[in-house]
Amino acid sequence: MVNRVYKEPPVPGTPRHRIIDLNNNLDAEYAVFRRSQSGRSAHFQAIHETEALALEVARIHASESVARGDTDFTYYVVQIKHRLGIENGKPVDKAVA
């Protein structure tokens, strides 16, 4: 992962802030994703330490989607089992918790 320097800190709720949150919580076990409108992909929303918290946040996101008038959406609560890739120039291949 390339470490970039930005003039302003990331705004909470933006993709840049979500990725920083993900990198700062490497031991978190649950993630919330939202299905794209096409149904072909899911977009990362948040990462959480516990399943209960992830479920609660997914319910809040779903409630906000209804309030915006969305009529076709799905949120997924996913347990993170393993991290695999390259982070900060180093290979990573390890189980989570």
Considering the chain, what is the average pLDDT of its residues? 83
The answer as to whether 10 is a domain residue is no
Whole-number pLDDT of residue 86: 87
Provide the token pair at 74.
Answer: 């799905």
> Which residues are bridge partners to 32 per DSSP?
46, 77
The answer as to whether 2 is a domain residue is no
The total number of structural domains in the chain stands at: 1
| Cα–Cα distances in angstroms (integers) from residue 35 to residues 6, 14, 41, in the given order | 29, 17, 6
* Cβ neighbours of 32 (radius 10 Å): 24
What residue spans of 1-97 are helical by DSSP H? Answer: 15-24, 51-67
Task: Write down the pTM of the prediction.
Answer: 0.71
- pLDDT 10s digits, 31-65: 899 998 888 888 888 888 899 999 999 999 999 99
Which residue would you say has higher pLDDT here, 30 or 12?
A: 30
The answer as to whether 3 is a domain residue is no
The answer as to whether 1 is a domain residue is no
- pLDDT 10s digits, 2-28: 566 667 777 777 666 666 666 667 778
Taking 80 as the threshold, does the pLDDT of residue 89 lie above it?
A: yes
